[in-house]
Amino acid sequence: MPLRIGQEVQAVLRGTGVIPKGFSFSAINAGIKSREYKGLDLGLIACSTDAVLSGVFTRNLVKAAPVIIGMEQVKKGSARAVLANAGNANACTGQMGIADARSMMEAVARELKVRSEEVVPMSTGTIGVSMPTERIIPEIPRLVKGLCADPGCFARAIMTTDTVPKMAARRVGEACVLGFAKGAGMIAPNMATTLAVVLTDALVDKQELDNIIKTSISSTFNAITIDGDMSTNDTLVALASGLVEADPLELRYAVNSVIEELALMIVKDGEGATKFVTVKVSGTSNDRDARIVAMAVANSLLVKTALFGADPNWGRIVAAVGYSGIPVEPRDIAVKIQGLDVVEGGVQSRSFTESSLHEALKGSKITIEIVAGPGQGRFTVWTTDLSYKYVEINAQYRT
């Protein structure tokens, strides 16, 4: 699905736009994906100050080596660099994976003249394969030497099955917020990013940055799903160089806006996706219950395949509401799709026609609105359809 990048982000990609003070960027090919791959696969962000560090990570109990390390770094709360690679997840690699990640951190630290624990590692790619450090570490000096003001190279270096680099930016007075993300598949809470980095030059303390990030992801990265699979590597880190004064409320809004835009970019670039789907649920006892219902619908393979084929089989949606685990009274359920009344009082609407819904489902943007009862709870989830291409991409991921 083609992704339109806003004018502000295009300016960033040209190296003339919204770039937070104190940060520089570099990316190279280090032969991580394979010796034959010639694209960028190793990216670096360096900060001239001791940046305040915050982050959130996958809740999968099987965590990649960089996630294990990153979780400890976030507790300490400061960093000077982010080192990210594509093509190898460094997950399910045992103690050797931890050692490999640390050796890469140490190599970067030597070149930047910082402490190794100040270099945050991030990895994405194939699970269960040893990191080719023998090819990576000799290239670190070249990576550091290439640091510059253009962030676009970093965005491209973390791509795997992504079809476009994902960046978003906002201004906060004289301060800036810049975000990167990668992800197109294996996207499900908590938290669904695969990899993301948010940078700001605003002056903000650790507690406030933690609060901003955790609040923002609840309705953004934790409200998207493509295939229901939670990665071993999902990571979002935020760094603040603290070089510019900014209004706290405006900063919170800007960070949330950047994170939401990145999350929606991930859905729009979903593997094999032909439709961008919004699922809105209301009428539950609370927002948590609405989220559970919305996720049940959004993750239903039967709903996803019906959307791909523009099949007006609304029963799959109602069935997902019923098995979500949230108590619902069938006669309270109402469903609208693309503004068409489909279900009223738990049964097919009198105005419903298959032909009308079939035509409505042919569009590339679909909105499903579900009322599950008389309550005040509400939540919105973004997802995709499930196409032949998704199966093809994931059937051939390693072959």
CB atoms within 10 A of CB 325: 10
Does 126 qualify as catalytic in the annotation? Answer: no
- Count each helix (H run) and each strand (E run) in the chain, helices first: 13, 14
CA–CA separation, 186 and 178 (whole Å) = 24
The per-residue DSSP string of 253-301 comes to: HHHHHHHHHHHHHHHHT-TT---EEEEEEEEESSHHHHHHHHHHHHH-H
Q: Cβ neighbours of residue 319 under 8 Å, at least 6 residues apart?
A: 300, 302
Catalytic residue among 193, 200, 225, 235: 193
CA–CA separation, 320 and 117 (whole Å) = 46
Q: Cβ neighbours of residue 126 under 8 Å, at least 6 residues apart?
A: 87, 88, 89, 397, 398
Pairing relation of β-strands 42-57 and 23-28?
A: antiparallel
CB atoms within 10 A of CB 170: 21
Question: Catalytic residue numbers?
Answer: 193
